[in-house]
Amino acid sequence: MKLYEYIIRRLILMIFVLFGISVLVFYLARGFPSAMDPVAPYITSRMTSEQIAEVRRIHGFDRPLYEQYVFWLRDVFRGDWGLTGIWAQGRPVLEVFFLSFPYTVQLSIAATILTVGIGLPLGIISAVRNNKIPDHISRIIALTGYSTPSYWFGFILQLVFFYYFTLWGLPHLPSTGASGMEGAVARVTGMPVLDGIIGGNIAYTVDALAHLVLPAFSLSFISLGFLARIVRASMLDVLRQDYIILARSKGLKERVVIYRHALKNGLIPAVTLTGLFFAGLLGGAIITEFVFALPGVGQLSIQAVMQGDSNFILLYTLVLATIIVTANLIVDIAYVFLDPRIKY
């Protein structure tokens, strides 16, 4: 199979997956009795019950679910994703979502950088000093990472780095929110750090970065453990190969063997997995945004779920699913370029 054939096959599968998700979520979000009535955002207090029935008929909310799904799909292809419930003042779903989405992206990028920056060295140390003290320490850090309740860890970080540091008179980090200088620069991308750089306001950028440190670390703490374990496993695999034994036996220094020879092949899974981590962190940001009161889509999605707002949940899950599936595809293609032994 040629590469482009493979990509086309995967894209067709992707459409199938997105279709499946939309059907599943649609039936879940509209079908259960506790779900929000989709007609709610269209109603004002002055409307008569006949008018409400008319609105219901126009939008097809009085029809069976499968017909409603077709209506919804038709509207989506026209670019109309519907309205949110009262919790977001009945504004269009697209507007509500994409006002907050850049912030979640910024948080996930920061967390991905931390994941790779800490997880990679941990994994390498663990593999090189296999079953020695450094391996045990790195193993404890990695396992603690994915044994930690993420909401709890966020609060502990706030408690220590904001509250106690303030009490002790140390320079402290802000606890909640995305920025302490709201409105100081014009909104361009919606990511506070990037907006500060574009607006040329250094104080704003620094402040936004300070607000980002604790949430990003809290979010990355789980995934960096996973990454460290994956890097360790793949490095151990590579270190047992014949060409490493050859490199050692021809008298190369251990440092050269590891960093020049082993690392190149050992890091292939880690490099490709970074894309998956980014996609996973976008979904994992829900709890972090809740804990740190951040203006991202995760925070909104909790509200939407609690209110049974099917339109918002559908958009949220479909956007995240698209990103996850695309990241998977990119990872698989990246393998081919990074590792010439793999063919499709």
Return residues touching another protein (CB under 8 A). 13, 16-18, 20-21, 24-25, 28-29, 32, 34-35, 131, 136, 139-140, 143-144, 146-153, 155-156, 158-159, 163, 229, 236-237, 240, 280, 282-284, 286-287, 290-291, 301-302, 305-306, 308, 313, 316-317, 320-321, 324-325
Cβ closest to another protein, residue 106 vs residue 150 = 150
Kindly state the smallest distance separating residue 183's Cβ from another protein, in Å: 27
Q: H/E/C letters for each residue in 240-276?
A: CCHHHHHHHHCCCCHHHHHHHHHHHHHCHHHHHHHHH
Instruction: Give Cβ neighbours of residue 24 (< 8 Å, ≥ 6 apart).
Output: none
Work out how close the CB of 241 gets to another protein at its nearest, in angstroms, rounded to a whole number. 11
* Alpha-carbon distances, residue 256 vs 56, 242, 250, 251 (angstroms): 71, 16, 12, 10
Q: What is the largest CA-CA distance in the chain?
A: 89
Nearest distance from C-beta of residue 317 to another protein, angstroms: 6
Smallest separation, CB 234 to another protein (Å) = 11
d(CA 70, CA 79): 14
Question: What b/e string do you get for 322-336 counting C-beta neighbours within 10 Å, with b at 16 or more?
Answer: ebbbebbbebbbbbe
- CB closer to another protein, 196 vs 308: 308
Closer of 90 and 283 to another protein (Cβ): 283
Residue nearer to another protein on the CB measure, 97 or 316: 316
Q: What angle do CA 314, 317, 323 make, to 5 degrees?
A: 135
**Min dist. Cβ of residue 337 to another protein (A):** 23
DSSP 184: S
Which residue, 102 or 298, is less far from another protein as judged by CB? 298
Please enumerate in sequence order all residues whose Cβ is within 8 A of that of 52, keeping only pairs 6 or more positions apart, or say none: 39, 43
Shortest distance, position 47 Cβ to another protein, whole Å: 28
205-212 contact pairs (CB < 8 A, 24+): 207/174, 207/179, 207/180, 207/181, 208/178, 208/179, 210/173, 210/174, 211/174, 211/177, 211/178, 211/179, 211/180, 212/106, 212/107, 212/110
> Which residue lies nearer to another protein by CB, 158 or 274?
158
Instruction: Report how far residue 190's alpha carbon sits from residue 111's, in angstroms, rounded to the nearest whole number.
Output: 17
Which is nearer to another protein, 8 or 206 (by Cβ)? 8
State the minimum distance, in angstroms, from the CB of residue 158 to another protein.
Answer: 7
Q: Which is nearer to another protein, 27 or 197 (CB)?
A: 27
Task: Report in angstroms how near the CB of residue 238 gets to another protein at its nearest.
Answer: 12
How far, in Å, CA of 145 to CA of 220, rounded? 9
Smaller CB separation from another protein, 89 or 144: 144
Do residues 312 and 84 touch, judged by C-beta distance below 8 A? yes
Shortest Cβ 333–another protein spacing (Å): 17
